[in-house]
Amino acid sequence: MSGNAFKVAVEINYGDIDAVNRKLSKLAIPASTKAMKSGFRQWFKGVRSTAKALAPYGDTRAMETVRGQKRPNPHIRDHIAYTVRGYSKGRVVWGALGVKERRGSYDTPHWYLRWVEFGHEIKRRATQNEAMLLKSRGERRMTMTIGRVLGRKFIERAYQANATRLLPIMEDAIAREVLKEWSNG
């Protein structure tokens, strides 16, 4: 896995989650787990669609040439995925939105996602005079920073745009599970 890859972009740990957990704990264990997972899945579908709309698209060609080799040109918005994690008794642990990684394939944009989301520095090789100056300062790398690209923060903005919808969606999911229990019981 690349050092630039990351799995968890959003960790849900606000005080509202405690209220959701209290409601989930009143249900039976299987029902609370189903309610939690279905509610978060529905919420993350909305966050994913917002993130896809905000994601930069870049070059639209299907193939790109990298170091003389033709490779697929993956785009972030085509690989955005979400996951919901929880333990027994329906207690919410975390939910994450990120980019699905396909190991061993060039058809995965995980390696540049961190650059797009958080920004990066633009560097170039130092000239001979600059290299001598860097060496006199004790630097080991002979590169010069010539600029910085600001991060797009599209995943963070997608989360913030949908944050207020979480509680109503979770309450609806819990209500659906309660209705299922009453109709079955």
Considering the domain boundaries, does residue 110 fall inside one?
Answer: yes
pLDDT confidence band for 41 (50 / 70 / 90):
confident
Using the predicted structure, report yes or no on whether residue 136 has a pLDDT greater than 90: yes
pLDDT score at 111: 66
pLDDT score at 121: 92
Considering the domain boundaries, does residue 112 fall inside one?
Answer: yes
40: containing domain: 15-118+153-184
Considering the domain boundaries, does residue 23 fall inside one?
Answer: yes
pLDDT single digits (tens) 45-89: 999 999 999 988 777 788 888 778 888 888 888 888 888 776 555
> What phi, psi does 148 have (nearest 5°)?
-145, 135
Whole-number Å distance between alpha carbons of 132 and 137 = 9
The CA-based diameter of the chain, rounded to the nearest angstrom, is 81
Task: Give the chain's domain count.
Answer: 1
pLDDT single digits (tens) 138-162: 988 899 889 999 988 888 899 889 8
Reference 48, options 88, 83, 14, 74; nearest CA is 83
Considering the domain boundaries, does residue 37 fall inside one?
Answer: yes
132, containing H or E segment: helix 128-136
Considering the domain boundaries, does residue 134 fall inside one?
Answer: no
Considering the domain boundaries, does residue 29 fall inside one?
Answer: yes
pTM: predicted TM-score of the whole model, two decimal places: 0.73
Considering the domain boundaries, does residue 43 fall inside one?
Answer: yes
